[in-house]
């Protein structure tokens, strides 16, 4: 009799474990991503559960904005291809056009996709379309830029004020709280540019570090190189440079080397080309982390919702900055300047996309 009771009890426990909902803590979206504290609603288990196969859509604010945005697309595609339950992954490129992003999301809704991932062009460009998607029963995951609406299902937010402050704090420390800096911002109007800049201002508050020049380099090497050349010719006496993106950092480093000048403390991020410069030239820097694998994290969030798992509405990705020793562990001399770290791309894809020619 005791054995029968024990067997029944074991069966009940096993059944309970099998049927129990999966909670937010069970889902690993991306290394360094955690649920936001405070008032953080829960997307209840089972709300968007749907049997596979699934079709997942993604509205990208601009695939060809720079090398990082290209890799975000690659990371998302690789993550979708890895999960055989995803029958189709539809990637639409808004090309920085707000109207195009609205049309893209409307198109995905019309195609009756099972989930939509949105990287917003601006803080308001996708709000109405996101609300329409959720109303149609389609979960929406937002990343790479905050929006003013809260109609989305869940968001994974990195960079932003934390990113800018990590860089700003580095410069304040290096300059001893006093000096003149140039500021190279990203794409004007993009929420990520605004939020990173606000993080810099937080770091500078109460110090004697002054911004003597401020320009938008659009996170692009070529545009930033021209800007840095102009800034240097106008006034080469600068104590430090806050650069919102590593392609712009590389450009400014090249300008100082071009003029045979000492490279001032300058901020960077996880770009292989920048890593190579930093290691070779030994200037003072920090690498703020903003992994392109956020593209893969968006796929994982969509899958978790379709599996019926419970998620939180808000997730933060706020890792510490990297020093030169960590950079040396990631740098790949056999890959081009265009790959970004940390990456989840498998080795064959890294070589396919980024092997030196």
The Cα 256–Cα 228 span in angstroms is: 9
Cβ count within 10 A of residue 3: 7
Strands 208-216 and 54-60: unpaired
Instruction: Map 170-230 to HEC letters.
Output: HHHHHCCCEEEEEEEECCCCCHHHHHHHHHHHHHHCCCEEEEEEEEECCCCHHHHHHHHHH
Rounded alpha-carbon distances, angstroms, from residue 354 to 74, 335, 349, 350: 11, 5, 8, 6
Beta bridge partners of 54: 86
Q: What is the mean pLDDT of residues 24-30?
A: 75
pLDDT by residue (tens digit) across 102-144? 999 999 999 999 999 999 998 888 899 999 999 999 999 999 8
Full set of structural domains in the chain with CATH: 22-158+292-319 (3.40.50.2300), 160-288 (3.40.50.2300)
Between 46 and 3, residue with greater pLDDT = 46
Lowest mean pLDDT among 1-10, 62-71, 285-294, 316-325: 1-10
3-state secondary structure of 262: coil
What's the pLDDT score for residue 19? 37
pLDDT for the residue 69: 93
* Residue % of the chain over a pLDDT of 70: 93
pLDDT > 50? residue 2: no
Longest Cα–Cα distance of the chain, Å, equals 91
Contact 292, 325 (CB under 8 A): no
Average pLDDT over residues 311-326: 96
Which residue would you say has higher pLDDT here, 13 or 232? Answer: 232
SS (H, E, C) 116-156: EEECCCCCCCCHHHHHHHHHCCCCEEEECCCCCCCCCCEEE
Q: Give the DSSP H or E segment for 161.
A: helix 160-174
pLDDT at position 26 is 65
**Rounded mean pLDDT, 267-283:** 97
Provide the pLDDT confidence category of residue 333 given band limits of 50, 70 and 90. very high
pLDDT in tens, 173-207: 999 999 999 999 999 988 889 999 999 999 999 99
**In angstroms, what is the C-alpha Rg of the chain?**
22
- Asked if residue 149 has a cis previous peptide bond (ω within 30° of 0), the answer is no
> By the 8 A CB rule, do 225 and 251 touch?
yes
- The dihedrals phi and psi of 272, each to the nearest 5 degrees, come to -60, -40
pTM: 0.88
Nearest to 122 by CA among 146, 155, 141, 140: 146
Bridge partner list, 312: 42
């Amino acid at each position: 009799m005791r054995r029968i009771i024990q067997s029944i009890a074991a069966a009940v426990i096993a059944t309970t474990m099998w049927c129990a909902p999966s909670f937010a803590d069970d889902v690993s979206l991306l290394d360094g991503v955690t649920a936001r504290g405070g008032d953080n609603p829960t997307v209840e288990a089972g709300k968007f559960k749907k049997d596979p196969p699934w079709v997942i859509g993604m509205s990208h604010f601009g695939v060809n904005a720079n090398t990082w945005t290209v890799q975000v697309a690659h990371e998302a595609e690789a993550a979708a291809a890895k999960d055989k339950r995803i029958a189709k992954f539809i990637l639409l490129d808004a090309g920085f056009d707000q109207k195009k992003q609205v049309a893209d999301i409307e198109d995905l809704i019309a195609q009756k996709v099972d989930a939509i991932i949105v990287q917003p062009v601006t803080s308001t460009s996708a709000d109405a379309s996101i609300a329409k998607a959720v109303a149609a029963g389609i979960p929406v995951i937002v990343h790479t830029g905050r929006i003013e609406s809260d109609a989305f299902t869940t968001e994974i937010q990195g960079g932003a004020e934390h990113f800018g402050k990590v860089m700003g704090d580095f410069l304040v420390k290096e300059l001893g709280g006093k000096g003149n800096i140039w500021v190279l911002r990203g794409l004007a109007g993009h929420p990520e540019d605004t939020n990173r800049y606000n993080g810099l201002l937080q770091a500078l508050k109460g110090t004697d570090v002054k911004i003597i020049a401020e320009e938008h380099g659009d996170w692009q090497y070529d545009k930033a190189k021209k800007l840095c050349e102009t800034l240097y010719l106008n006034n080469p006496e600068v104590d430090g440079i806050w650069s919102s993106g590593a392609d712009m950092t590389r450009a400014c480093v090249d300008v100082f080397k071009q003029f045979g000048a000492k490279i001032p403390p300058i901020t960077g991020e996880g770009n292989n080309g920048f890593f190579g410069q930093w290691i070779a030239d030994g200037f003072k820097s920090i690498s703020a982390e903003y992994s392109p694998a956020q593209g893969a994290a968006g796929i994982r969030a969509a899958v978790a919702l379709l599996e019926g798992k419970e998620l939180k509405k808000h997730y933060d990705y706020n890792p510490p900055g990297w020093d030169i020793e960590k950079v040396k562990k990631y740098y790949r001399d056999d890959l081009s300047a265009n790959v970004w770290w940390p990456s989840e791309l498998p080795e064959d894809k890294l070589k396919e996309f980024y092997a030196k020619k």
